[in-house]
Amino acid sequence: MAQQVKLEDLHEHMPEQIWYLTGDGRNLYCRRPYSFLFSTPEAATVFAKAFGVSDLNVVGVDSKEITSGDFVQAFRTMSVTRLFIDPSIDPDTGDVFGTILRLQEAN
């Protein structure tokens, strides 16, 4: 089950430093409606390889930046409404599982 979180409160549910995958160094890698965030660069690299997208780069930012205008706009532009935090991949099925934060708009 996904936990619902307001975008402005998102950083409160993450470690101080957060890592994401990107193909161009700027845009978040996603599989709509999901994107993937990690507490370590190693976790991001392992996930990318297991997911079959090893050509992606890992970028780290302060988790408070995730709620900044650029990230919020990126989530909206890419129709991302759910964030996996430190996801794993089931080796038997290939399914992604783990903690999911469901984004909701601020009131």
Show the beta-strand stretches assigned E in the chain. Answer: 3-6, 17-22, 30-31, 34-38, 57-62, 82-89, 96-104
Is residue 48 in a domain? yes
| pLDDT tens-digit map of 18-70 | 999 998 887 788 889 999 999 999 999 999 998 888 789 999 998 888 777 77
Q: What is the mean pLDDT of residues 64-91?
A: 85
For the chain, what is the domain count? 1
107 located within any domain:
no
| Neighbour count for residue 84 (Cβ, 10 Å) | 21
In-domain check, residue 101: no
Q: Which domain holds residue 67?
A: 17-88
Q: What is the pLDDT of residue 107?
A: 47
pLDDT at residue number 37: 92
Using pLDDT thresholds of 50, 70 and 90, give the confidence band for residue 2.
Answer: low
Is residue 61 within 8 Å of 26, Cβ to Cβ? no
Q: What DSSP designation does 87 have?
A: E
Band (97; pLDDT cuts 50, 70, 90): very high
pLDDT on residue 53: 86
Within a domain: 6: no
* Residue 95 covered by a domain: no
- Assess if residue 33 is contained within a domain: yes
Q: Which of 37, 34, 39 is nearest to 15 (CA)?
A: 39
Phi, psi of 94 (to 5 degrees): 80, 5
Q: Let me know if residue 73 belongs to a domain.
A: yes
Q: Would you say residue 9 lies in a domain? A: no
